[in-house]
Structure 1
Amino acid sequence: MKKTLFILCCLVATVSNAQNRDISSLSSGGKLQPLQVIMDIRHYTINLNVDLTNKTIQGATEVTMVLSKNTDTILLDLVNLLTIQKVSVNNKAVKFEHKDHKIYITAASPFLQGKQLVKVEYGGEPPIAVRPPWLGGFTFTKDRSGNPWVAINCQKEGARIYTPTKDHPSDEPNEGVDMMITVPDTLVVSGPGLLQKVTKSKGKKTYHWKTNYPMSTYTMVFNIGKFHVASDEYTTINGNKVPIQFYILAEDSAEAKKIIALKKRDSQVLEKYFGEYPWVKEKIGICAVPNSGMEHQTNITFQNKFVYTKIGESDYNANLFHEYAHEWWANKVTNKDWAHEWIQEGIGTYAEALIHYDLGGQEAYDKIIDGHKRSIKYIKPMVGGEEMSEDETYAQTDIYTKGSFFMHSLRYVVGDEIFFPTLKKLATDPQYTYDNMVTTTDVEQLFSKAAGMNLKPFFDFYCRTTNQIEIVVKEVGYQKYSIKVNNAFMKLPFEITSSEGVSKMMIDKEGITITSKTPPQVDNKGYYLKKVQTL
């Protein structure tokens, strides 16, 4: 009986420990805590030793911030699975409480308005990814040759899974990130920005990566592997020369040349529509990982599958292209709040339609747009409110495909002569890029001004509802038909196909009446999300 009881207690302890390591409730963003509203993060310095045998990390992170007013508490985010040894502010040890995945830092006297340097010394076992990159954490695995291979993904949970941060999309480190990662000397670390130096000591190497650009904390990660670095150079649309570095597994190095060639081609297409590559002072980076790729800034990850489809006569890899499009839409143009995630995911997905047009013509464009339309689930709006967490927006979402189709519809409404220059302005104007985050309202106001019309009802209909345009075609006399939009919200152009041919007509809540020997067809080419009823 005692033995049985002992075994039972051990099992309960094991289950309890496993449950304690569950981070499924974590989600980046949401309503910003008042204590964090007053914090402006300027820089992160992350210095970690990664123990691959025990799957642990140990080191320190320094957070440089500016406080907008005096406060008795500084609040940072860090997962409870890691243990804090010490916290200091401006080189003075201070008290702290680590609970609910947050660090509450206090001192004998208030922290004063202005610059503060917070250093957190910590370590332990970081969470293990359950289904990366969607359910994130660390992935400790091996390549086909048996070499250690480590990836980090944390868009849902935030960078708090491995480093103290202010984990909210509205605040990026304006002055960039320094990252010093120590690993066994047989391995290589890829990271954001440019590699400053590699220091070797006692069988280990420390890789110092540095970016001077602001970046979202969920892209502020590194990867470890037996990497071969394949290098090249790309000349941007503005004539700047940018290094290309592909951190590819040594066993796959023969595949690097083709991936880099595709990356150059994709760069030309993306620059054509969205302006110069955003990080010309650093690099175009690619890193092989054992999961679907992610938009990690200047270190875009790529699943280690060298499989291509055809657009026309050209090879294409959808994951490689989509994640690269995020260098413009997510990394350069960043949603201020996860509620507006459609901006980066929807426009990033629409970029796929544009490269299909460039490589395969109108037929290829129409096919992928139709695929996006057919995949829309209409379960919840793309924008479900404000101050939402990543989970709240992402779960059962249409932000990818409906976001793309919304761009397709908007293009039709305002015309190519307005749409493309305005989209490029959104991707290049300092008002919307780098340090300045955007919301749906910002995008709407930009397009409304450019088009000279109030597009708010159009944005609200597509972004804040799950409705479709309800069109009713009714025979009202001999060869006469009325066409009405039952849920009209503004006057919109529609292509009407009748016995007289195809005409573009404006329809508002009053509708129109036309003469046709045959029942008219509305929006045959599919510019809108709609339902058509013929009476």
Structure 2
Amino acid sequence: MKKFLICCFFILCIFSADAQLMTNKSSFSRADSLRGTLSPMRSCYDINYYHLDVKIDVDQKFISGSNEFRFTATRDFDKLQFDLFSNLKIDKVLYKGAELPYQREFNAVFIAFPASIKTGTRDSFTVFYSGNPVIAKNPPWDGGFIFKKDKSGNPWVSVACQGFGASSWWPNKDHQSDEVDSLLISVSVPEGLQDISNGRLRSILKKSGGYTQYNWFVGSPINNYNVSVYIGKYAHWKDTYQGEKGLLTLDFWSLKEDSTQARPHWAADVKPMLKSFEHWFGPYPFYEDGYKLVQAPHLGMEHQSAVAYGNQFKMGYLGNDLSGSGWGLKFDFITIHESGHEWFGNNITTKDVADMWVHEGFTAYSEALFTESEHGKPAAESYVEGIRKNIDNDIPIIGPYQVNKEGSGDMYYKGSNLVHLIRQLINDDEKFRSILRGLNKTFYHQTVTTQQVESYIAKQSGLKLDKIFDQYLRHKDIPTFQYQIKEGKLSYRWIADVKDFDMPLKVTLKPGSFAVIHPSASWKTIQVDKDITNKSFKADPNFYIRIKEGS
């Protein structure tokens, strides 16, 4: 059992990067700032539309093509920045039929226009490029392109680039704050292979040189890192789900050789998942583009309307229960977790990756909410308590801003426990549910900051939560509840990094029940039942805290 838990913990630590290459750094470079900062040469234009047209030579692991940028000027400017990794060659940049001069600095590219583009002007340019993209060594965590073979020896290709950068394989404004309003993805692949990408398939065209072009249109705002390709020999089947906004189309794409196994496995979770998440979070956010689940040559990613699946058709996380509670083996972790990101991560997207706890904390909690929908509230509480063993409390879960750096991997399960703790403080499950749904309605298809999310929850709950958010998000340690019982009296206080931390807590003042007390940084004393001792005293386990006995 101990070896099993250590193995699960190791797996989670790897997974917590969620397709991100970044490692902890105490200092940051010019390249980090160019990537992570919404500089004036990025904020000067708002992306409206991309047409990504790319050809993928599978044998040579080579990509070539173009991306059209359509934008609106947010101020007068004559120079802007877009992004493309330096290992990829810019063949030319066309504007109104003429080539534009450009300069590179690391992975940032600066283009100069022949005349000032005025505020409010809608304009466009097209970048032509080619090269061998970065190959992911251990996808999805290190980011990059994946060139594999299926069990029958057929090519199987995809990409996972969250954090690493969509500009690792296509030119774009690679900053999380600006989601393109709509997108046409044209992918040409060798004849005999298929491409599945985000959104809806518009057409399939025969191209010269033995290639077939698949044209997919995304009608909803989408973040760059969510744009993906899945290339292989796939089986496809359809279904529908009668959801809160009407009939939602469901498309399933597994490798042909795995379709017999995939059909019943996915059917067991997908519709119950949609029912649960629409109940808790509100309507699926992308009815216009549909829901797709696509088998991928890596573990999984939340690619919008084309969720990447690679959990080998096993329950749990590759057959393991990361909670150790038993409940984690009642569902396919990747199907549930990555689909949960359609609400938190894809519908609500943080402007800066430093705030990724909003994506991962709420989505990790979606695992518990799905468990609750299927097996009841005690099962969900057991799951939430169980995942605490995977929390390191190593560094804060909010990272440094403007350098494309996320915080601790604890953003997953510490974030989940923070959401669960707030639910306890609200102490009204319908109000809690209305807040989750309200977040998805208020920030529908928007990019946000953690401050916006924190303020919304505090306002809607009517609670003072600023010190709680600060302690759990901006400090590495959780608060410690210190107590001592002598002669029928309970003395208690909080030990925390946040000054005057005063979170309410449920404890046993008498056997068999919990009552709310209001600890502060200073010692307080109240009477307790004669049967309550230092050994029998408990805090409600739904509160993720440390407990320390003694004065």
Letter in 2 for 1:519: T
Q: 2: distance between equivalents of 1:34 and 1:483?
A: 51
> Counterpart of 1:75?
81
Report the Cα distance in structure 2 between the residues aligned to 1:52 and 1:23, rounded to whole angstroms. Answer: 27
Q: Distance in 1 between matches of 2:451 and 2:58?
A: 46
Select the residue among 431, 447, 462 that pairs with 1:437: 447
* Contact kept? 2:100, 2:112, Cα under 8 Å: yes
Give the alignment partner of residue 217 of structure 2, picking from 210, 226, 234: 210
Q: Pick from 167, 171, 175: which aligns with 1:168?
A: 175
Task: Give yes or no for contact 1:334–1:433 (8 Å, CA) kept in 2.
Answer: no
Aligned partner of residue 273 in structure 2, secondary structure: helix
Q: Report the AA paired with residue 240 of structure 2.
A: E
Task: Check whether the contact 1:179–1:210 (CA below 8 A) recurs between aligned residues.
Answer: yes
Match of 2:475 among 441, 465, 477: 465
Q: Secondary structure at the match of 1:334?
A: strand
Q: For structure 2, which runs of at least 5 residues remain unmatched after alignment?
A: 1-20, 24-28
Q: Measured at CA, do residues 529 and 500 of structure 1 come closer, stay the same or move farther in structure 2, by a change above 3 Å?
A: closer
C-alpha distance after superposition, 1:226-246 (max 9, x if no partner)? 1111211111134x1122111
TM-score (norm 2): 0.87
**Corresponding residue to 2:488 among 479, 496, 499:** 479
Contact 1:336 1:439 in 2 (8 A): yes
**Per the alignment, do residues 57 and 362 of structure 1 end up closer, same or farther by CA in structure 2, a change over 3 Å counting?**
same
Residues 346, 404 of structure 1: 8 Å contact kept: yes
Deviations 1:378-428 (A, max 9, x none): 111111343341xx315x421001000000110011122432211110022
Structure 2 counterpart SS, 1:103: strand
Q: How does 1:355-434 map to 2 (within 5 A)?
A: 355-389=370-404, 392-394=405-407, 396-415=408-427, 416-429=429-442, 432-434=443-445
Q: Find the partner of 2:275 among 268, 271, 276.
A: 268
d(CA) in 1 for partners of 2:382 and 2:188?
47
User: CA offset at residue 200 of structure 1?
Assistant: 1.4
Shift of 1:361: 2.4
Describe the shift of the 1:312–1:371 C-alpha distance in structure 2 as closer, same or farther (beyond 3 A).
closer
Residue correspondence of structure 1 range 219-230 to structure 2 within 5 A: 219-230=226-237
Q: Which of 529, 534, 547 is matched with 1:516 structurally?
A: 529
Match for 2:451: what amino acid? T
AA matched with 1:129? A
In 2, distance between residues paired with 1:453 and 1:253? 49
2:417 maps to amino acid: F
Q: Where in structure 2 are the equivalents of 1:49-448 lying within 5 Å?
A: 49-113=55-119, 114-174=121-181, 176-202=182-208, 203-238=210-245, 240-258=246-264, 259-303=266-310, 305-309=312-316, 315-389=330-404, 392-394=405-407, 396-415=408-427, 416-429=429-442, 432-434=443-445, 436-448=446-458
- Name the structure 1 match of 2:16: none
Report the Cα offset of residue 367 of structure 1: 2.4
What is the distance in 2 between the residues matched to 1:362 and 1:262? 19
Deviation at 1:445, TM superposition (A): 1.3
Count of aligned residue pairs for this structure pair: 505
Q: Which amino acid letter does the alignment assign opposite residue 415 of structure 2?
A: G
Task: Report the residue type matching 1:427 in the other structure.
Answer: N
Q: CA offset at residue 290 of structure 1? A: 1.2
- Conservation of the 8 A alpha-carbon contact between 2:381 and 2:542: no
Deviation, structure 1 residue 201: 3.3
**Distance change (3 Å), C-alpha of 1:123 and 1:186:** same
Separation in structure 2 between the aligned mates of residue 413 and residue 489 of structure 1, nearest angstrom: 18
Q: CA deviation at 1:29?
A: 5.3
SS in 2 for 1:398: helix
> Secondary structure of 1:260's match?
helix
Partner SS state of residue 300, structure 2: coil
Q: CA deviation at 1:315?
A: 4.8
**2:53/2:66 contact within 8 Å kept:** yes
CA change 1:90–1:531 in 2 (3 A) is farther
Distance 1:404 1:314, change over 3 A: closer
Bigger shift: residues 246-255 or 444-453: 444-453
Given candidates 508, 522, 534, the residue that maps to 1:497 is 508
What does 1:3-42 correspond to in 2, within 5 Å? 30-42=36-48
Q: Answer whether contact 1:49 1:182 (CA < 8 A) is retained.
A: yes
Q: By how many angstroms is 1:23 displaced?
A: 10
Structure 2: distance between partners of 1:327 and 1:501 = 40
TM score, norm. by length of structure 1? 0.89
